[in-house]
Amino acid sequence: MMNHSETLAARIEARFGDQMNRVASSCGELTYEVGKDELSKVATALRNEADFGFEMLVDVCGVDYLSYGSDEWITESATGTGFSRGVERKPVILDEADEFDPRRFAVVYHLLSIQNNIRLRLRVFTGTSNPPIVRSVVDIWNGANWFEREVFDLYGILFDGHPDLRRILTDYGFIGHPFRKDFPIIGNVEVSYDSDEGRVVYKPVTIEPRTLVPRVIRDDNRYSADLKDIQKDG
């Protein structure tokens, strides 16, 4: 007998065919990739049709796959000085190309069907356009309004048809999008109060770029089976 997820997967395959492509999930969550041109039709069907009934949009997330799969450092053993050991960072190079890699930016939608007690995740890549853009789903799920503003603010992804697309988390006049992989971790400017001018001023950041290597514990006898037995007996 199929569980709820596999039953839903069978219905999606029968209803949408090549419009939705299943994505492998290590945690067993049902995930599909949808083309940006198909998003509106697919989302509307998933909300309205009884076989799906995804009346609730739980979250909208942005993803930047710029450095996906690459390591900044390789750790084979426990570090000698823990969190304080730093490594030289690679120079930050902003991506100012006219076009992005077609699978660099993605928008992920988390859906919930209360009536059918099932969840679904959709992923849409923005394509090569710079700035990246997808269609807004505010007219399908009104709760997407602030979620899409967050994605725009942090990743610079535009949502065509959004009624009020403006920053929601960063400060007035903020430059750049802080969740992009090419945005410097230390930022571009720092803020301080200037007593002489009597106001808050912005100036180039003075923090030295560095990366902290996390402490990695490969073997710890506190968690060995023999020690647990001794503690239990004691």
- Domain spans of the chain, in order of start: 4-178+208-233
Collapsed DSSP state (helix, strand, coil) of residue 229:
helix
Report H helices in 55-155. Answer: 144-155
Tokens of 59: 């979250």
Task: Write out pLDDT tens, residues 59-71.
Answer: 999 999 988 877 6
Its pTM stands at: 0.79
- On the question of a cis peptide bond just before residue 178, with omega within 30 degrees of 0, the verdict is no
The reported pLDDT for the residue numbered 42 is: 97
Q: Which fold has domain 4-178+208-233?
A: Beta Polymerase; domain 2 (3.30.460)
Task: Write out pLDDT tens, residues 35-61.
Answer: 999 999 999 999 999 999 999 999 999
Low-confidence ranges of the chain (pLDDT < 70): 1-2, 71-96, 209-234
Q: How far apart are CA 152 and CA 129, in angstroms?
A: 15
Q: What is the dihedral of CA 168, 169, 173, 176, to 10 degrees?
A: -110
The reported pLDDT for the residue numbered 150 is: 98
